[in-house]
């Protein structure tokens, strides 16, 4: 007797509480893995084959000069010291809704890349109490500190091109919200 689920895949939907089956095609005689004369007979080393680690999806970017970056602890001191500043969160809106630091404003990186640099600079300048105040900064944060670096670079380059580069200091928070959670606030959600 043939097994009940031969050539079928049983799927369970835990959210909906239902089951369904998907019919699988029969074994193909020419298949390199399960065919009559398989050419692949052992698993390969992923890292060796691909030339990168299996967990390299969040590879760290390092494109900014050190003076344009602050640690989460340094930013925490700005907040606890009550120093006036702006916090720009460049994650997508759905990520921002999951969790965000108080008093941050969400302007996703894709919006900056697709033309809202002028509007963002106008907001920055309208919100800045006094131009050329060396103690006033705009801090940019994202999940891991990669997109925020790209945003700082875009904003600085655009600001210089428009003659606005000297008016305000824009800095990236190193390691983003993950580093914030690991070093400043362990109760801050990680996702």
pLDDT tens for residues 17-44? 999 999 888 888 999 888 899 998 888 8
The beta strand positions in 107-154, using DSSP E, are 137-141
- Lowest-confidence pick of 21-30, 33-42, 46-55, 89-98: 46-55
Comparing CA positions, the residue from 162, 142, 141, 148 lying closest to residue 62 is 148
pLDDT at 4: 81
């Amino acid at each position: 007797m043939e097994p009940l689920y031969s050539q079928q895949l049983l799927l369970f939907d835990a959210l909906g509480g239902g089951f369904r089956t998907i019919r699988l095609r029969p074994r193909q005689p020419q298949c390199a893995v399960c065919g009559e004369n398989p050419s692949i007979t052992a698993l390969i080393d992923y890292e060796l084959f691909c030339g990168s680690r299996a967990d390299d999806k969040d590879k760290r970017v390092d494109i900014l000069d050190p003076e344009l970056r602050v640690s989460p602890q340094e930013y925490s001191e700005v907040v606890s010291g009550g120093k006036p500043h702006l916090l720009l969160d460049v994650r997508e809106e759905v990520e921002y809704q999951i969790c965000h630091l108080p008093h941050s404003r969400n302007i996703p990186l894709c919006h900056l890349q697709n033309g809202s640099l002028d509007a963002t600079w106008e907001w920055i300048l309208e919100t800045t109490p006094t131009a050329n105040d060396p103690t006033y900064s705009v801090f940019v944060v994202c999940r891991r500190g990669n997109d925020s670096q790209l945003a700082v670079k875009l904003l600085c380059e655009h600001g210089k091109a428009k003659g606005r580069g000297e008016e305000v200091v824009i800095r990236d928070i190193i390691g983003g919200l993950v580093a914030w959670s690991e070093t400043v606030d362990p109760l801050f959600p990680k996702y």
